């Protein structure tokens, strides 16, 4: 029987899978039958996520967790190696880890603050994708690379040049890699979340003034939830997306269309 969304036997890495959108992705990937390795930088948060995911999926042997800094080359190489050892192989890799930024005018921004955002949001994706692509190309079975970008890559906002620059860089990287890695059977796509309720956005979405200004611009008339990313994660990890590469998938409730 044709099962386009069946991920049984597949190994998947989700960076930043210990919370927020990455956690929502990991839940859905496990539900679809995949073996999943989540990465996080906070030990306690990562351990809690591991316990919760293992309990929910009912098979602790299918979910693993590793602690590391995606902006550190040596740590990425080490953590990816640990993931391969735990999963057997990596068929899909979601470079989801990222940091937000405090609103800062360009004229007030320090180079240190700008680089802090690029280090995780751009260099972290590069390092994660490089490790995964090397593994996939070596094993010759193809695979799927997915980066979490943001609607900030396609819309402008004041006091947000450092974050917008980082996410725009990610979408450009994805398009280039989609062309470069296609000969290895590796698909490369990006997901662009809108306003999603996570720890990163909690202060904004709970601010009545902000909600009054932004919610009317969202045709879906609600904030996004982390579970809104489960379906797209399964799709991009599965054979259902075998001919989709170099694409930007906007998951924003219609925000950028209104």
User: Hey, what are 227's tokens?
Assistant: 């579970």
Instruction: Render pLDDT for 50-69 as a digit per residue (tens, 0 to 9).
Output: 999 999 999 999 999 999 99
Q: Which residues of 32-55 are buried (b: 16+ CB within 10 A; e: fewer)?
A: bbbbbbbbbbeeebbeebbeebbe
Residue for token pair 């979408």: 171
The whole-number pLDDT of residue 1 equals 83
The whole-number pLDDT of residue 2 equals 87
The whole-number pLDDT of residue 155 equals 95
Q: Which is catalytic among the residues 163, 235, 243, 255?
A: 163
DSSP at 159: T
Contacts of 88 (CB under 8 A, 6+ apart): 11, 35
The whole-number pLDDT of residue 65 equals 99
Nearest to 65 by CA among 116, 91, 30: 30
User: Hey, what are 235's tokens?
Assistant: 């799709």
Residue for token pair 């921004």: 109
Q: pLDDT tens digits, the chain, 258 residues: what are they?
A: 889 999 999 999 999 999 999 999 999 999 999 999 999 999 999 999 999 999 999 999 999 999 999 999 999 999 999 999 999 999 999 999 999 988 999 999 999 999 999 999 999 999 999 999 999 999 999 999 999 999 999 999 999 999 999 999 999 999 999 999 999 999 999 999 999 999 999 999 999 999 999 999 999 999 999 999 999 999 999 999 999 999 999 999 999 998
> What CA–CA distance (Å, rounded) separates 258 from 2?
38
For the chain, which domains are there? 11-257 (3.40.50.720)
Nearest to 21 by CA among 42, 1, 49: 49
Instruction: Render pLDDT for 85-136 as a digit per residue (tens, 0 to 9).
Output: 999 999 999 999 999 988 999 999 999 999 999 999 999 999 999 999 999 9
Q: How far is CA 55 from CA 13, 17, 229, 234, in A?
A: 19, 16, 20, 20
The whole-number pLDDT of residue 64 equals 99
The number of CA neighbours under 13 Å toward the Cβ of 111 is 0
Q: Using a cut of 0.85, tell me whether the model's pTM lies above it.
A: yes
> Is 163 a residue of the active site?
yes
């Amino acid at each position: 029987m044709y099962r386009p969304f069946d991920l049984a036997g597949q190994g998947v890495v989700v960076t930043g899978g210990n919370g927020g959108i990455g956690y929502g992705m990991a839940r859905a990937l496990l539900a679809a039958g995949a073996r999943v390795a989540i990465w996080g930088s906070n030990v306690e948060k990562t351990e809690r996520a591991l316990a919760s995911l293992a309990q929910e999926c009912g098979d602790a042997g299918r979910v693993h967790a590793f602690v590391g800094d995606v902006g550190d080359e040596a740590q990425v190489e080490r953590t990816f190696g640990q993931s391969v050892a735990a999963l057997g192989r990596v068929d899909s890799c979601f470079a989801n880890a990222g940091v937000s930024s405090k609103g800062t005018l360009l004229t007030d921004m320090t180079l240190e603050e700008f680089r802090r955002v690029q280090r995780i949001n751009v260099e972290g994706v590069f390092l994660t994708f490089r490790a995964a692509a090397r593994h996939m190309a070596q094993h010759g079975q193809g695979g799927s690379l997915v980066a979490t970008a943001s609607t900030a890559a396609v819309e402008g906002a004041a006091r947000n040049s450092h974050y917008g620059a980082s996410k725009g860089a990610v979408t450009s990287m994805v398009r280039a890699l989609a062309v470069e890695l296609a000969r290895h059977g590796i698909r490369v796509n990006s997901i662009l979340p809108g306003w999603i309720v996570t720890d990163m956005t909690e202060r904004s979405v709970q601010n009545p003034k902000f909600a009054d200004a932004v919610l009317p611009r969202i045709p879906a008339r609600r904030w996004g939830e982390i579970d809104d990313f489960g379906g797209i994660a399964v799709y991009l990890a599965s054979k259902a997306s075998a001919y989709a590469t170099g694409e930007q998938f906007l998951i924003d409730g219609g925000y950028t269309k209104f």
